Chain A
Amino acid sequence: MTNDFTAVAGAVLRRNLIHAFKNPALLIPSAVFPLLFFTAFAGGLSNVANVPGFDFSSGYTAFQFVFVFLQSAAFGGVFTGFAVAADFESGFGRRLLLGAPQRKGIIAGYIVAAFARWLFTATIVTVAALIVGMQVDGNAAQLLGLVSLALLANATACLWGTGVALRFQTLQAGPVMQIPVFLILFMAPVYVPLHLIQGWVNTAASYNPATALLEAGRGFLSGQPEVSGLAYLAGFGLVALGVVWGLTGLRRAERGE
């Protein structure tokens, strides 16, 4: 049973990584987009750090890096959802369901593939941030905390995308995978700390779980952890919901719905 699970997950992981890393059209956008956001936000908006009330001690580059880091993790998960949809659209997904002795292993394989693909992007974004002089004040444990939050975001988005892909089984469902993730991410304190956001977006951001992940991540990077417990609670809660969403999607696909 465990061996079947691991074997299926391993096979799905291997296939996904080969497909992703041998196909520049898939790999390049996932790496370029976060860099683009980082350049635009940390470069173009750097003067926002001079706004009265902006109190992030590690500077605007670090402030934006955490958003881009978490965003790249979430979109890495969504891109894996695209891969699942493409597999089903081409008919490979149905054959995979027939051939796999432990079908939950399929979802596990896609999740680990999403991790691996994101690690590539995360490395590029981190190196770019360090080259432009990002200030890192957190210690090694705190930086691991930041990475763990990103992995939770990555797993949540991957499970969301996979659940959608298993239900619709077509790449045309791409916007359904992307748009909610995009909305949740941008309804968080992207440009300035929460207390500087005005209007209804402030209210929305206050209840948004992504806000806790973002604030905790920024706390880790600046060496002044805050709302970490809430962030992990939100992160694991989202992953739990994602597991339910993914597994019910798998059941539907098995029944041929």
Chain B
Amino acid sequence: MTSTLEQVGLVARRSVRRTMRQPALIVPTLVFPLFLLAVNSSGLSSATKLPGFPADSYLDFAITVAFMQGALFAAITAGTELATDIQSGFLNRLQLTPLRRAAILVGQVAGATTLALIGALVYLAVGLIAGVDVKSGVGGAIVLLLYAVFIAIAFSGIGAAMGARTGSPEAVQGVFPLIFAVFFLSSMSMPRDLISIDWFRTVATWNPASYLVEGLRSLVITGWDGTALWRGLAVGVAVLVLSFWVASRALATRMART
């Protein structure tokens, strides 16, 4: 009987290999956020002239959005892969083995997490080449990467929950715009105190995604901002715990059903 950790390793290895063998997953995850970053930083560069804007360069302000988009892609990858395994009957075959449910769930998100890590490294490297100034220094850049991967794992839990509940890759893809909507209604593109429409500012203030973005962003544009960091971390932990709990319950129901 293998330990849970060994079981996680087995499932994770398969998940990572499967993800890394799909250029159709890797290329958009790397290219799409960088393209939007380039367009937004050029198009909104004049926004830095607004009184009270917290950065001299919109590129510095917006680079963390790429990390968040990478986390979204991780969520979709994790959800789609789990749903594909359900649809193809692979999960049913796994049930014939002594693999634990936790091992399946945690191992399944390994591919998405690896993809998110590669994405984060690329975004940071491209950002630094383009002139991003990380105010918190080298240590901050490392924390930024770890933070981004942590958020990607938390979001992978959302993807896994959707994948386990629906068992349909199409349905997982269909829910993607809703998650995207949550990000659009946050302080992703403008600091909350500079959002001039009252209801939008209220929505952005109540939107947990704002605190994830602001936590990441603080490392780049402010330095070590304890408040922004702990708020972001708290939201991240809440998303992680809740999403994996829902995913675990959904997987248990599905496994009991089959």
Contact = CB atoms under 8 A, between A and B. Distances in A.
B43 interface: yes
Contacts of A50: 50, 196
Interface string B166-194: 00000000100100110011011110001
A192 B177 contact: no
A202 B189 CA distance: 20
A51 B184 contact: no
Contacts of A39: 184-185, 200
A256 interface: no
A183 to B, nearest CB: 7
A189 interface: yes
A44 B177 contact: no
Contacts of B50: 47-48, 50-51
Contacts of B35: 183, 186
Given A25-B174, A36-B184, A45 B189 contact: yes
Contacts of A47: 47, 50, 190, 194-196
Interface-centre pick from B40, B46, B184, B200 (highest chain A CB count, 10 A): B46
B1 interface: no
Given A36-B184, A39-B184, A40-B189, A51 B46 contact: yes
Interface string A191-215: 1100011111110000000000000
Nearest to A32: B177
A44 B47 contact: no
Nearest to B186: A44
A33 B181 CA distance: 9
A49 to B, nearest CB: 8
A37 B43 CA distance: 16
B48 to A, nearest CB: 9
B39 A44 contact: no
A219 B237 CA distance: 48
Interface string A217-242: 00000000000000000000000000
Contacts of A197: 42-43, 45
A190 interface: yes
A36 B46 contact: no
Helix, strand, loop or mixed for chain B's interface?
helix
B200 A44 contact: yes
A46 B197 contact: yes
B42 A40 contact: no
B184 A201 contact: no
B44 A45 contact: yes
Interface in A159-208: 175, 183, 186-187, 189-192, 196-202
B190 A44 contact: yes
A52 interface: yes
Nearest to B52: A47
A187 B49 contact: no
Most buried by A among B35, B43, B185: B43
A29 B170 CA distance: 13
A200 B42 contact: yes
A43 interface: yes
B226 interface: no
B122 interface: no
Interface of B: 24, 28, 35-36, 38-40, 42-47, 49-50, 174, 177, 180-181, 184-185, 187-190, 194-197, 199-200, 204
Interface of A: 25, 29, 32-33, 36-37, 39-40, 43-48, 50-54, 175, 183, 186-187, 189-192, 196-202
